[in-house]
Amino acid sequence: MGAEMFDVAIVGLGPTGEVAAGLLGGHGLKVWVGDRLPDVYDKPRAIALDHEIMRVFQELNLVDAIEPFTEPFTNSEFFGVDGQLIKCMSTVAEPYPLAYTPSLVFSQPPVEEAMRAHVRSLPNVTVSLGQTVTAVTQDSAAATLTMVNEQGLSSQVQARYVIGCDGASSFVRGQMGLTLQDLGFDEPWLVVDVLVNEQGLKKLPKTSVQYCEPERPCTLVIGPKNHRRWEISINPGEDPQHLATPEGTWPLLARWLTPDDATLWRQASYRFHALVAQDWRQGRVFLAGDAAHQQPPFLGQGMCQGVRDAANLSWKLAAVLAGRAQDSLLDTYAQERKAHVSELTRRIKGIGQLVGERDVAKARERDAHLLAECGGVVLPMPRQNVQPALSEGCLVPGSAAAGTLFPQAWWQHGAHKQRMDTVLGTGWRVFLAAGADAGCEGALASVPASLKLKVIRLGTPEAPECDGVLAQWFTTHGCQAAWVRPDHYVFATAHSAAELSPQMQILRTFFS
Ligand SMILES: Cc1cc2nc3c(=O)[nH]c(=O)nc-3n(C[C@H](O)[C@H](O)[C@H](O)COP(=O)(O)OP(=O)(O)OC[C@H]3O[C@@H](n4cnc5c(N)ncnc54)[C@H](O)[C@@H]3O)c2cc1C
């Protein structure tokens, strides 16, 4: 009997694979997902996530399951050579643009458990754990995965498309001969997760901190509940393995805590890298998550980037597999995500270099420069400002706000408030400002039916927004209409009904 055929096979059930499987399964596709490990990794690695990721969890109907394991991310205060405040990263003010706290900390193991439970609940998704993928081949009809289970038995599955979500040392990437480009960051750091008791919590700062100290740059992140994380740079000549033992770690924490104050949860020494795959697609095979990129954790974006990949690729695969879109839409995945990841990594590297300056004179110059820039009064800068927009791909470059995330408002229904996506669903949408040209709806009538476009005019009963987020967005961008993709990124904006038709032609190049 031949190998079973799937629409999509996903290698690796970490956060990226979990989201990809959940989204593709939600589109009704027949999905196989496998991981060599039988269980979720029981220690936290990612600790921060963005509102954009909560919006993806919303699509997976996971917000109620995940929210209890999240807390708002405190401000991050940067202290210079002499202990003075030199910079502060905060969060955008309310009303929140995506209807979630914009930056959160979370506990990864229970969040991953919730994602896995969701994936397992989907009847059209086959979850295969304890299976190590040992070969990936493809021909004009399908891709074939060969795997070996824990008893050494070999089996195969076939799929129209494969996504390698198999982490930093990706086997799939190697099999496809895809290489990583070095964006120029490579430093040894120790990551320490600690569960702190009441007495210890009283001794610790109440905000997250970047200690920009040349003798040993380090980071403190206030995690959920009593979880605190230190990322501590390793000095030349130090033994990373010894530092990762309790005997090596406690002296590094002595400035803040003693063993009476806390329990060590996990210590691991890492090289913080900045790497991005040169190519993200080889025929039927795609890379996503850490398999496609790795970035230093200074802004807590590693997992977020993998979730963005999964969200970007899923709706495109669903459209192509349903015969509604051209294969060229799949090429926009790498185009969009590579440029975005590269730019964000460049910005994260900049933060890492600022925190990690080892030369005392240069560090003092940095402090003086930052303080001069703000006139001596450090103003909090929202972390969200660091996020770049998508710059190319399935969008209309040059159109205001194209490539940015369209906001999510709260809708008021009687006494109840609901998030907009919950009411409207995802898919392609055009939002019209309350005062948009009367001809806009007519101009949109010839959109291909396969797009299942929803048109929503603000100021009507079908758009009962109660916080003004959308109205303000249209004012800020000075436009009348916004095309919004299934992953909530803006495809294009229009200043008049007349602009909609040429934009539709661009969309038609991707959709049948
Ligand atoms: C110290 C540290 C701190 C971090 N902090 C943050 C943070 O604050 N915020 C953030 O967003 N991110 C953070 N990250 C990054 C984040 O943990 C990763 O980006 C994220 O886990 C990547 O998810 P992934 O699913 O792509 O890969 P992984 O989580 O690595 O999952 C890959 C999966 O593939 C499986 N696999 C591998 N090979 C095979 C094979 N041949 N066959 C079958 N299965 C296979 C593995 O078992 C694994 O389960 C941090 C990472 C580290 C190391």
128-147 pLDDT, tens digit per residue, is 999 999 999 999 999 999 99
**Contacts with 448 (C-beta within 8 Å, 6 or more apart), sequence order:** 508, 511, 512
CA of residue 479 to ligand 1 center, whole Å: 40
Atom nearest to 305 CA in ligand 1: 11
Q: What is the mean pLDDT of residues 6-22?
A: 98
* pLDDT, mean of residues 256-279: 96
Ligand 1 pocket test, pick from 303, 304, 351 with the greatest ligand atom count within 8 Å of Cβ, gives 303
| Ligand 1 atom closest to Cα of residue 303 | 11
Q: Indicate if the pLDDT at residue 413 is higher than 90.
A: no
Q: And the tokens for 197?
A: 């008791």
Q: What DSSP state is assigned to residue 474?
A: H
> Residue 238: CB partners within 8 Å, gap ≥ 6?
none
Average predicted confidence (pLDDT) for the chain: 96
User: Residue 249: pLDDT band by 50, 70, 90 thresholds?
Assistant: very high
- Dihedral (Cα; 272, 278, 281, 287), 10-degree rounding: 0
Using 50, 70 and 90 to split pLDDT, how confident is the model at 2? confident
Would you give the distance in Å from CA 389 to the centre of its chain?
13
Distance 106 CA to ligand 1 centre (A): 15
Which secondary-structure segment (H or E) carries 443?
helix 440-443
Which one has a higher pLDDT value, 220 or 2? 220
Provide mean pLDDT across the span 298-323.
96
pLDDT digits (tens, 9 = 90+) for 82-122: 999 999 999 999 999 999 999 999 999 999 999 999 999 99
Model confidence at 512: pLDDT above 80: no
Start-to-end CA distance of the chain, whole Å, equals 36
CA of 168 to the centre of ligand 1 (A): 7
Question: Is residue 299 scored above 70 in pLDDT?
Answer: yes
Q: Tell me how far the alpha carbon of residue 167 lies from the centroid of ligand 1, in angstroms.
A: 5
Atom number of ligand 1 nearest to Cα 165:
26
Evaluate if residue 450 carries a pLDDT over 90: no
CA of 269 to the centre of ligand 1 (A): 15
pTM, full prediction: 0.97
Please give the pLDDT value at position 414: 84
Segment 63-72 shows an average pLDDT of: 98
Residue 57: per-residue pLDDT: 98
Percent of the chain with pLDDT strictly greater than 90: 95
Check: CB of residue 90 under 8 Å from CB of residue 27.
Answer: no
What would you report as the CA-atom Rg of the chain, rounded to the nearest whole angstrom? Answer: 24
* Ligand 1 atom at shortest distance from the alpha carbon of 290: 26
Count Cβ atoms below 10 Å from residue 358 Cβ, excluding itself.
14
Task: Give the position, in ligand 1's atom list, of the atom nearest the Cα of 171.
Answer: 41
Domains of the chain with CATH codes:
4-70+104-180+274-344 (3.50.50.60), 410-508 (3.40.30.120)
Q: For residue 473, what is the enclosing H or E element?
A: helix 469-477
Question: In the chain, pLDDT over 70 holds for what percent of residues?
Answer: 100
Ligand 1 site: residues with CB under 6 angstroms? 11-17, 34-37, 45-49, 132-133, 165-167, 171, 191, 270, 289-290, 297, 300-304, 306
- Residue 231 CA: distances (Å) to CA of 47, 204, 252, 360: 12, 15, 11, 20
274 alpha carbon to ligand 1 midpoint, in Å?
A: 15
Please determine, for residue 1, whether its predicted confidence score (pLDDT) is greater than 70.
Answer: no
Q: Over range 41-65, report the average pLDDT.
A: 96
